[in-house]
Amino acid sequence: MSFVFYVVAALTLAGALSAVLLKNLVHCALAVSIAFAGLALFFLQLDAEFVGFAQFLVYVGAVAILVVFAILLTRGSETPKKTEIFSRTWLTGLAVAGAIFAVPAWAVLQAAPWMIHTTEKPAVTVQEIGNALMGRYVLPLEIVALLLTAALIGAVIVAMHEKEGRNS
Amino acid sequence: MIEKADQIFVLLLHWLVGFLPASWQHVASTILCVATIVLLYPALFAIAVLLERKGLGRMQNRYGPNRVGPFGILQPVADGIKSLTKEDIVPFRADALVHFIAPLVLVVAVFMGFAVMPMGRNMVLVDMDASLLFFFAMGASTELSVFMAGWSSRNKYSLLGAMRAVAQMISYEVPLLLSSVVIVMMTGSLSLVKMVEAQNQYTWGLPHWYVFTPWGLAGFVMFVIASMAETNRSPFDLPEGESEIVAGYFTEYSGFKFALFFLGEYVGMFGIAGLGTTLFLGGWSAPLAALSVVPSWIWFFGKVMLWICFFIWVRGTLPRLRQDQLMNFAWKFVLPMTLVNLVVAALWRFMGEGLLRWIVCTAIVVVAYAAMGRVEMRRERLGPRSYRYAE
């Protein structure tokens, strides 16, 4: 645990906390992108280059922008008048959050020995990841590809529909 | 001698670092390299701005800057001093913190890309496995900074400009990535250094640059288009369309913060030009085997500056696109072309050596280009535009 780890950890936690606690929704979105970037840095610290950059590209580059667009298009960027931090349904929120936390926690505990007793770092190159994706995991990859293509075409069709409606 | 000239900066670095104790050498060389990059590109920025103003002036039958120094070549210095001493005005209702951070995020993000750029033989700061991915990951964060600038200004023109910019950058990032995937498929690596090495071979004195293959040429054209849109250059400069939204997302920036946006834009241009050079134009390799005696870094920066000159030329030539044309072009023409290009590249890979693959691949690219262009032109209703919200 180096000095860099603590700096990144503090940054990520601060980002995540302010994403929940800040009042202005756009501020929250920007804070959550700091948390995303911090997570990417964690992956990089663990020598997981590919995952780290992918996290950066997808979450900071696309998901954060998507969130921001959603906020602006729904006029949620105005600061609400209420000053309470806790909403009235905080008990439900707590239950949902607990349930969401419990599932991965259970999965992690069920998984194979959770303290790995090896000293040497596993070295995985991007090339190996590519070979694995194209070899052993090609079926899941193709399924994901099909799903994403369907989503892309669906988005185009949704956008097209409006145009045709205007003409008729 | 030739070897020495080629490696002059590497040797200089080793010589300088040699004065320090061994334990400091790694840190010192990193700091020196980073400092060089951070100083070099603003200097190039000054040259490029002058070139652009002079060149555009020439294209528009006027002089351009000609008052500061001989032929106006000291104009960038004057501009720099002016922007440093100008008052920094922040709008009263602006979100002060986000307004302050936005230009910094932009400049940091655009400089990060140079960390993995091979600027000459052995001249790369970090030679990592996934350097192409790193470049795009850093490029992606500029979108967020543009949004931050536009939103925090509390100005509708800024916000409109930011929304335009983000929509445009997201749309053109897809073809930009897909047109570079072809190169990854051919090289079998995400490392920019390996890509240059793969292109640094010669047959009959001619280079193996990827741009000289059917799929490479198609990818190159798509990459150039997408890179112009990605850096908000004309004809894709809607985000800062002066006649419509003042100056887009940086309307409310003045003084040095404005200069930072300006710098970020140009350094981003250098970055994308450097990436395109590395991917398609052989990076630092010479255009002819006989010219390999010229140092590799001269070729890299020469190609980048040529690319910038091309950008300036296009800016002086083409009118600005409309928003709907911009989006239609990205999603209905550039994106399908890059997808076709992926198939062509795969065919090229598996057809083996020979004349046949040249004919087949060229035919597919040309037919796809012509067919898509014709279908799009037929569908395009040329004539007076019908407005939905303004009549």
Contacts B381 to A, Cβ<8 Å: none
For residue B152, what is the nearest residue in chain A, using CA coordinates?
A: A26
Q: Say yes or no: A43 contacts chain B, CB-CB below 8 A.
A: no
Where would I find the beta strands (DSSP E) of B172-318?
Answer: 202-203, 206-207
| B238 and B326 Cβ atoms separated by less than 8 Å | yes
Could A61 and B143 be called an inter-chain contact, meaning their C-beta atoms sit closer than 8 Å? yes
What pLDDT, on the 0 to 100 scale, is given for residue A98?
93
What pLDDT, on the 0 to 100 scale, is given for residue A147?
93
Question: For tokens 């002079």, what's the residue?
Answer: B54
- Following CA atoms B122, B125, B127, B131 in sequence, which dihedral angle do they give, to the nearest 10 degrees? -130
Contacts A27 to B, Cβ<8 Å: 98
Residues A32-85 have pLDDT tens digits of: 988 998 998 888 888 788 888 888 888 888 888 888 888 877 765 566 666 566
Contacts B170 to A, Cβ<8 Å: 62, 65
For chain A, the average pLDDT equals: 80
Cis peptide bond upstream of B70, omega within 30: no
Cis peptide bond upstream of B235, omega within 30: yes
Give A4 to chain B, closest Cα distance, Å: 16
Distance, first Cα to last Cα, chain B: 71
Rounded to whole angstroms, the Cα distance separating A43 from B116 reads 18
Which of A25, A57, A69, A158 to mutate against chain B (most B CBs within 10 Å)? A57
Rounded to whole angstroms, the Cα distance separating B141 from A63 reads 11
Question: Residue A88 carries which side chain, given as an amino acid letter?
Answer: R
Q: Say yes or no: A50 contacts chain B, CB-CB below 8 A.
A: yes
What pLDDT, on the 0 to 100 scale, is given for residue A74?
75
Of B129, B143, B144, the CB nearest to A126: B129
Q: Name the architecture of domain A1-80.
A: Up-down Bundle (1.20)
What pLDDT, on the 0 to 100 scale, is given for residue A167?
47
**Three-state SS for B60?**
coil
| B218 and B366 Cβ atoms separated by less than 8 Å | no
Query: How much is the CA Rg of chain B, to the nearest whole Å?
Result: 22
Burial B238-265 (b: 16+ CB within 10 A, else e): bbbbeeebbbbbbbbbebbbbbbbbbbb
pTM above 0.80, yes or no: yes
With a pLDDT cut of 90, the percent of chain A lying above it is: 12
**DSSP per position, B291-336:** GGGS-HHHHHHHHHHHHHHHHHHHHHHPPPPPHHHHHHIIIIIIHH
Q: Which residues have a Cβ under 8 Å from the Cβ of A71 and sit 6 or more positions away?
A: A25, A26, A29, A77
- Following CA atoms B330, B335, B341, B342 in sequence, which dihedral angle do they give, to the nearest 10 degrees? 150
For residue A67, what is the nearest residue in chain B, using CA coordinates?
A: B144
Residues B216-242 have pLDDT tens digits of: 888 899 999 999 888 888 788 777 767
- Number of A/B CB contacts below 8 angstroms equals 72
Whether A163 shows a pLDDT value over 80: the answer reads no
Could B98 and A27 be called an inter-chain contact, meaning their C-beta atoms sit closer than 8 Å? yes
Contacts A54 to B, Cβ<8 Å: 133, 137
Q: Say yes or no: B40 contacts chain A, CB-CB below 8 A.
A: no
Rounded to whole angstroms, the Cα distance separating B122 from B10 reads 7
Q: How many residues does chain B have?
A: 391
Question: Residue B156 carries which side chain, given as an amino acid letter?
Answer: K
Whether the ipTM is more than 0.85: the answer is no
Could A60 and B190 be called an inter-chain contact, meaning their C-beta atoms sit closer than 8 Å? no
**For residue B137, is it left (φ>0), alpha (ψ between -120 and 50) or beta?**
alpha
Contacts A72 to B, Cβ<8 Å: 151, 159, 163
Residues B265-307 have pLDDT tens digits of: 899 899 999 999 988 888 888 888 777 778 888 888 889 999 9
Longest dimension (CA), chain A: 69
Those residues of chain B that have pLDDT short of 50 are none
Could A37 and B128 be called an inter-chain contact, meaning their C-beta atoms sit closer than 8 Å? no
Give B115 to chain A, closest Cα distance, Å: 14
Angle at B337 between CA B331 and CA B343, to 5 degrees: 130
What pLDDT, on the 0 to 100 scale, is given for residue A168?
41
Q: Say yes or no: B143 contacts chain A, CB-CB below 8 A.
A: yes
| A94 and B170 Cβ atoms separated by less than 8 Å | no
